[in-house]
Structure 1
Amino acid sequence: MVPKATEADTRAKLIDPALHKCGWTEEHIKREVSAGAIEIIRGQARRRAQGRVDYLLRIKLNPDTQPVAVALIEAKAEHLPPNHGLEQGKLYANSKRLNVPFVFSSNGHLFVEYDRITGLTSQPKPMNQFPNPVELQARYEQGMGFKLTEPSALPLLTRYSGGEGNRRYYQDAAIRAVFEAIAQGKKRAMLSLATGAGKTFIAVQLLKRIADAGQLRKALFICDRDELRSQGTIAFQKVFGSNAMAVSNGKPEKNARVLIATYQTLDIDTEDGGANFLTNHYPENYFSHIIIDECHRSAWGKWSQVFTHNPDAIQIGLTATPRQIEVTEKNKEALQDAKITADNHKHFGEPVYEYDMSQGIEDGYLAACEIERRDVLLDGKKEREYGVTKEDLKRRKLLADAYTGEVLSPEEARKTYRAASLESKLILPERVSSMCSDFFSHLLATGGPEQKTIIFCASDDHADKVAAEMGNLYAIWCSTNGKKGVQDYAFKCTASNSGGDYLADFRGSMQRYMIATTVDLLSTGVDITPLRNVVFFRYVQSPILFYQMVGRGTRIDTPTGKLMFRLYDYTDATRLFGEEFLTKFTKKSEKPRGGGEGNDDGINGPPPPPPERTIIAQGFEVKITDAGKYILTMVDGKAMPVTVEEYKERLSQKLIQEAPTVEDFRSRWVNPNERRTLLSHLPDAGHSALLVRMLEEMDDFDLYDVLAELGYGVAPKTRIERVESFVYKHEGWLKGLPERAANTIKALANQFAKAGTDGLESQQIFRTPEVMKAGGLESLKLVGKPGDLLRQTKERMFVA
């Protein structure tokens, strides 16, 4: 029985040749890959295989321009109907994924198209009728309402700074969505991307490509806190150098082209802020482009003055909050969120691109979340909806006024305390003790007490009490188990005690500062990648604030092997997740009231640490965990561990410096001396390319394809696929040769399938049995110089 052809066979033997005949070269095609979904099984996280899109078709106007994605093709095995992959392709193509208007599905013989602009689906058509690049460009331009040759579209065609090796598929989709809006004549655009998805990277690339297009005069990047300003300044200066500067009181930094400022510095952080710093230092329409980071953080009235003062500027809002937040509760915070969302949408319009937390988890770029809902002492639902009455308080052992510390009897307490007032107006020591004890027991059951954790508390005083209680529990545990405890195990991190001073240690040290108790200080903008737990001891009524708090845990941390975090909910805060969003999470069952007694989650003792192995590859020490790979390499003269993604970014940037376009790269690659020089100028003297090939499991690919994908976004071909494409791309040339000479050329090409570029440059190539059997040197002498024919074979091997 003959086995059925696979999707790979369909791509290589049917679709690739058909696309080439229609004018789609390798430089028009990109393979988009995601990190691979994270799944949680019995409390342990692991990665699945990488996600992959078969073909992303891109329009390229000339060798120096950035290709613009316009379509995708889902390939299916030839025995399946041609529309078999259409629904999957439509899912990928929408404005929450790849953001392209045309979707194709093909079995290699026929194709079906879905046009997102018109909403029409075609009948099956033969592959020889597949639209060529010129046709799709015309349809794209007509649907979008602009031509790619117009000045307003120039940022779309401006290439990425440092190549395409350092961007993710959704970041490219978001950047294109903004540039498309600008090309359509719009001056406002909003992007909604989850915390940890790289909004700052997007902001930097937006402004850099606008600047390279010659359309940036002065830009302003506004953020909410000093920590965010520092992070943003570092990111912008990596690309803009001294042309990007942080604005502070007394230093408007007007010589720089990109200014990074906080709301507070500009005097637009409060409702009655006079915007004095803004108006005194920067005349009207001083800025050509303005990006507001975390635009959901402030109500419209707080920062509108920066827009009204620069009415002609391109205005871009970045938010981590989902577009649709269903406000079912009529409390002050929820209603304020609704107003902020409405104001943002009124000003910016609907987001031009969205990438939410659930999608980030599904793609494997954000840590998976396991929810542990707890209900300690009081009836959570009743408590949240109706508050706590004197009758409820009579069974409490001790009550105290949160402001005075005075012990109260139930009779002396207020008639009713709303849920949001607990721990801020009424201290229940029994409740604090039970919550902390319950949570500490979960730490012990999930790896031990020394896990980076944020506990969100109701007030500064509440944060003090929780920190003290957690510290006591830890000290008792250390004493009981004969352990030497870490220093500063639990600490309060709030504005009142200059909590920001602790952030560096909390973020970086694994020997100190494990449990941070806070109110608002850590709710946004602080990257703590090793964070394992987010805990709610505080009632939260603002959906916007809730999403920000949860976002603290979503970053993956490769050095510690972190792929997941746990969300412990003691106040029913997770009700604020949208229904659609909830389905993406792993939720553990509800637990009985009372807390801290036993553990019924099916885990007997601490789980094993994430598996980690160290290998030596190309002379480098490489540590590998499920969270990713990182490499010990030299950075600024010091041996530093960097992730493979960071390492690839450095390699891509250097490659683009040496060979700005793929044409330059191809020209240098086919010349042995030029290729050796090029590789020697790459990081780690060319070993970097070999290392990336090994770590990315691309042993079947020539180094040419590894580097072409990394620097220029060209879809890579295996050595065998490249030989197969050589035959159909140069069919006319081969047919023009005598049969024996053509067979010899094909035999020479097959040496590439075995050994890559080096195989074609072997001094013994004409003596290999396969080449000699096909006709050998003598068959080529009848046509021309064998050396010239071999050189042409090598050059044609890499023709797009």
Structure 2
Amino acid sequence: MTKKEKQALSESDICDLFITPAIKAAGWDQFTQIRREVTLTPGPVIVRGNMSSRNKKKKKFADYVLSWKSGVPVAVVEAKDNKHTVSQGMQQALGYAEILQVPSAFSSNGDAFASHNKAPIDEEIECEIPLDAFPPPAELWQRYKIYRNIADTEETLVVQPYYEDASGKEPRYYQTDAINRVVEAIAKGRKRLLLVMATGTGKTYTTFQIIWRLWKAKAVKRVLFLVDRNFLADQTLVNDFKPFGSVMTKIKNRTIDPAYQIYLGLYQALTGPTEADKAFKTVSPDFFDLVVIDECHRGSAAEDSAWREILDYYANAIQIGLTATPKETEYVSNITYFGEPVYTYSLKQGIEDGFLAPYKVVRIDIDKDLYGWTPPPGMTDDLGNAIEQREYNQQDMDRILILNQRTKLVAKRVMDLLRATDPFAKTIIFCEDIDHAERMRKAIVNAAGKLAIENPKYVMRITGDSPEGKAELDNFSDPESRFPVIVTTSELLTTGVDVKTCKLIVIDKTIRSLIIFKQIVGRGTRIDEEFKKYYFTIMDFKKATEHFRDPDFDGEPVVIYEPDGNDDPVPPDPPSDGDSGENGDEEEGVRKFYVSGVEVSIVAERVEYIGADGKLVTESYIDYTRKQIRQEYASLNDFLTRWQAAKKKDAILNELAEYGIKFELLAKEVGKDYDAFDLICHIAYAQPPLTRKERANNVKKRNYFTKYGEQARAVLYALLDKYADEGLSTIESPRVLRLRPFDAMGTPMEIIQNVFGGKARYEYALQELEDALFSQEQSA
């Protein structure tokens, strides 16, 4: 094959004819070790206004991922067509190697391989090797072992395969990284491990794969998975851990039956205040080989906690702590107990990759919160109690001072947003306490009107003291169940509850704790494509979202030797009692004043979105579109040159759509009669737009097509009318000649052959028509 012929081949052809055969010839098995076109990340979801779309430009997929026999990835290969140099894909390959945490990266254009080795011994880091000299599996596995510092004695455990289910579900890249890092650390003899993964990233599935590999390799025999919510144990039993089947049990009645190997336990069922309650002591300290503590930020690391008592008893076991929000204070430290995290996958990274839902923030300021309120001298509340004479501010609202009009205002604003978007979007409203949650429930019922009348479970209060509310928790979590739609709560839904389709989180609660704030945000971070949930909204009435500006919001966990803030003049958040999640409706000793008749109003409201740097920005959909278009085409001239050169204009529109730009959304903002060309020129380069009809009429006036025969002119004028009515995509579609009025002129083949004299001439005439539509004269 000549160089010219080779350069005419597509990238896919280069892979099939040169790269894949070279890798197979080196001893790599096509079915078990070579994976083609592996999607690593789907690309982040972009949110502007009430619309969302994926930025596919940021999608990451590797042309090849090469794995050792057990499925452990060891190398990536980036392919390019032969118009590129051998090493032109190396930077991409290195990026994918970083994601997969592998030492070997290769690039090829079908002539040779460029090789990068992160674990060199007596060789160059980067070099070029012939096509027939690709490294065999054993060589790259040895390189991986050096890179990961894996000893020969540790290899058996490290290469234990994953569980493969019938559906073909595979761990995502970060789950694979997490599993491998934990298994490798245990193989080295480490006994305390901390795994930090953001809410919604699949901690339980990741944990299942870790336990499966350790159990199958016989590195552990008996495993205890500890949770602090009963429904978490039940969910785990029937979902992620189901493959363990008959060897698995849930600990009940404070009895540990020695007949099983995998145990799911509620820590409240294993311990208690008296010695008789301490069921964990009914077996020997060496009974369990592995103890996994879910949501370990909720107190397991505190030296005087019930969980620590269990951990200390099983001190000889391997212990893994799972958390989305490491708790680090003077008194409680996950890191001090478990050590530095063996792996961390943050909320920011999850959103950037596109595995987690981004958020938009609606910040609302209420006048009495912002400016404060002082009662007139001698004023009494609704119960006749004298109101303490002082200024009440935002932190007092619904803790000490209850303004009924304020509660109604918040409820009305929530319902206004839902009615404008989706009245049946699953919503959680976080309130100060149980009393506030009940008052908010009532206010939502009144604001919802007909919606609440038609279904009494449209809004429910789910708090620790309400069995009726807690009974609806499963229905609220179930995407298939429409009701309840709105839930008011104070503490119960901050953690652990998996509501994949939650689209709105309302915060009317003072939140000083960064950890609690992260847990609340975590209620909305899951993406559910089946139910079209790609993002969520945070409606903030109490400035809680100021935590997003905290540099530690999504930073690495560190041990902070500072007081917990017990001298804070603001009353503390109501404490959690573990399973119920709430411990009462009032803080001890706090007197509340209920006041009707004081008018309140919204004085400021702004909407913010996640920017490219992960920080919140105030930006419209048009602003976002302008940035992306200018990123692709720096000037109007650059765009026009590319547009005029393109045989199919749709190709350019598809390229821009990869950024998450939807032209139908832009048309709603600018005008529905403008085509994509004018939307681009107007939004990105401030050009005055012309409607499709104006462009079509201008072409007709200039008699561009007098050189064509009568029938051809009739087809071209009909195409202009189609463009005016429906846009450019319609006339570029190969199906257009099947539509009216063309169907009356003959079949598509008859029109192309008999009227224009063949496909090439028809395509030339269509190109000439488009050139006339978008000529510089038209745009001037």
**TM-score for the superposition, normalised by structure 1:** 0.62
Equivalent position of 1:369 in the other structure: 359
How much does 1:595 deviate?
A: 6.5
How much does 1:563 deviate?
A: 2.1
How much does 1:573 deviate?
A: 1.8
The answer to whether the Cα contact below 8 Å between 1:70 and 1:140 also exists between their aligned partners in 2 is: yes
Equivalent position of 1:460 in the other structure: 434
Equivalent position of 2:347 in the other structure: 357
Equivalent position of 1:550 in the other structure: 521
Equivalent position of 1:23 in the other structure: 27
User: Where does 1:122-137 land on structure 2 (aligned, <5 Å)?
Assistant: 122-128=125-131, 129-137=133-141
User: Where does 1:310-709 land on structure 2 (aligned, <5 Å)?
Assistant: 310-321=314-325, 337-339=328-330, 343-378=333-368, 392-394=373-375, 406=383, 412-413=388-389, 415=390, 420-447=395-422, 449-475=423-449, 485-498=454-467, 499-508=469-478, 510-577=481-548, 593-594=602-603
User: Where does 1:182-261 land on structure 2 (aligned, <5 Å)?
Assistant: 182-235=186-239, 238-261=242-265
Equivalent position of 2:768 in the other structure: none
When residues 529 and 22 of structure 1 are mapped into structure 2, their CA distance, relative to the original with a 3 A threshold, is same
Q: How far apart in 1 are the matches of 2:130 and 2:550?
A: 42
The answer to whether the Cα contact below 8 Å between 1:377 and 1:431 also exists between their aligned partners in 2 is: no
Alignment partner of 2:47 out of 33, 40, 43: 40
How much does 1:485 deviate?
A: 2.7
Q: CA RMSD in A?
A: 3.7
The answer to whether the Cα contact below 8 Å between 2:28 and 2:136 also exists between their aligned partners in 1 is: yes
Q: How far apart in 1 are the matches of 2:182 and 2:380?
A: 55
How much does 1:556 deviate?
A: 2.8
Q: How far apart in 1 are the matches of 2:410 and 2:404?
A: 10
Which secondary structure does the structure 1 equivalent of 2:207 belong to?
helix
Equivalent position of 2:283 in the other structure: 282
**1:53 paired to 2:62:** yes
Q: Which amino acid aligns with 1:54?
A: D
When residues 522 and 157 of structure 1 are mapped into structure 2, their CA distance, relative to the original with a 3 A threshold, is same
Equivalent position of 1:294 in the other structure: 295
How much does 1:54 deviate?
A: 1.6
When residues 505 and 163 of structure 1 are mapped into structure 2, their CA distance, relative to the original with a 3 A threshold, is closer
Deviations 1:698-746 (A, max 9, x none): xxxxxxxxxxxxxxxxxxxxxxxxxxxxxxxxxxxxxxxxxxxxxxxxx
When residues 111 and 398 of structure 1 are mapped into structure 2, their CA distance, relative to the original with a 3 A threshold, is farther
Q: How far apart in 2 are the matches of 1:7 and 1:136?
A: 25
User: Where does 1:716-795 land on structure 2 (aligned, <5 Å)?
Assistant: none
Deviations 1:737-793 (A, max 9, x none): xxxxxxxxxxxxxxxxxxxxxxxxxxxxxxxxxxxxxxxxxxxxxxxxxxxxxxxxx
Structure 1: runs of 5+ lacking an equivalent: 61-65, 324-335, 585-591, 604-800
How much does 1:239 deviate?
A: 0.9
Q: Which amino acid aligns with 1:348?
A: F
The answer to whether the Cα contact below 8 Å between 1:223 and 1:261 also exists between their aligned partners in 2 is: yes
Q: Which amino acid aligns with 1:450?
A: F
Equivalent position of 1:104 in the other structure: 106
**TM-score for the superposition, normalised by structure 2:** 0.63
Q: How far apart in 1 are the matches of 2:10 and 2:380?
A: 70
How much does 1:42 deviate?
A: 3.4
Which secondary structure does the structure 1 equivalent of 2:234 belong to?
helix
How much does 1:231 deviate?
A: 0.8
The answer to whether the Cα contact below 8 Å between 2:256 and 2:280 also exists between their aligned partners in 1 is: no
The answer to whether the Cα contact below 8 Å between 1:161 and 1:205 also exists between their aligned partners in 2 is: no
The answer to whether the Cα contact below 8 Å between 2:162 and 2:212 also exists between their aligned partners in 1 is: no
When residues 454 and 5 of structure 1 are mapped into structure 2, their CA distance, relative to the original with a 3 A threshold, is same
When residues 366 and 143 of structure 1 are mapped into structure 2, their CA distance, relative to the original with a 3 A threshold, is closer
How much does 1:535 deviate?
A: 1.1
The answer to whether the Cα contact below 8 Å between 1:82 and 1:124 also exists between their aligned partners in 2 is: no
Q: How far apart in 2 are the matches of 1:253 and 1:236?
A: 22
**1:146 paired to 2:150:** yes
The answer to whether the Cα contact below 8 Å between 1:396 and 1:430 also exists between their aligned partners in 2 is: no
Equivalent position of 2:638 in the other structure: none
Which secondary structure does the structure 2 equivalent of 1:568 belong to?
strand
How much does 1:424 deviate?
A: 2.0
How much does 1:458 deviate?
A: 0.8
Q: How far apart in 1 are the matches of 2:12 and 2:606?
A: 55
Q: How far apart in 2 are the matches of 1:273 and 1:370?
A: 48
Which secondary structure does the structure 1 equivalent of 2:215 belong to?
helix
Question: Which protein is bigger by CA-based radius of gyration?
Answer: 2
When residues 159 and 464 of structure 1 are mapped into structure 2, their CA distance, relative to the original with a 3 A threshold, is closer
When residues 262 and 421 of structure 1 are mapped into structure 2, their CA distance, relative to the original with a 3 A threshold, is farther
When residues 369 and 313 of structure 1 are mapped into structure 2, their CA distance, relative to the original with a 3 A threshold, is same
Q: Please, which moves more after superposition, 344-353 or 593-602?
A: 593-602
Structure 2: runs of 5+ lacking an equivalent: 556-600, 609-617, 622-780
Deviations 1:157-204 (A, max 9, x none): 234243682123232222112111112222222222221222111222
Which secondary structure does the structure 1 equivalent of 2:297 belong to?
coil
How much does 1:397 deviate?
A: 14
Q: Which amino acid aligns with 1:162?
A: D
Deviations 1:408-442 (A, max 9, x none): 666x24x4667544312222323222222222211
Q: Which amino acid aligns with 2:296?
A: C
Which secondary structure does the structure 1 equivalent of 2:465 belong to?
helix
Q: How far apart in 1 are the matches of 2:378 and 2:410?
A: 15
Q: How far apart in 1 are the matches of 2:369 and 2:116?
A: 52
Q: How far apart in 1 are the matches of 2:50 and 2:620?
A: 9
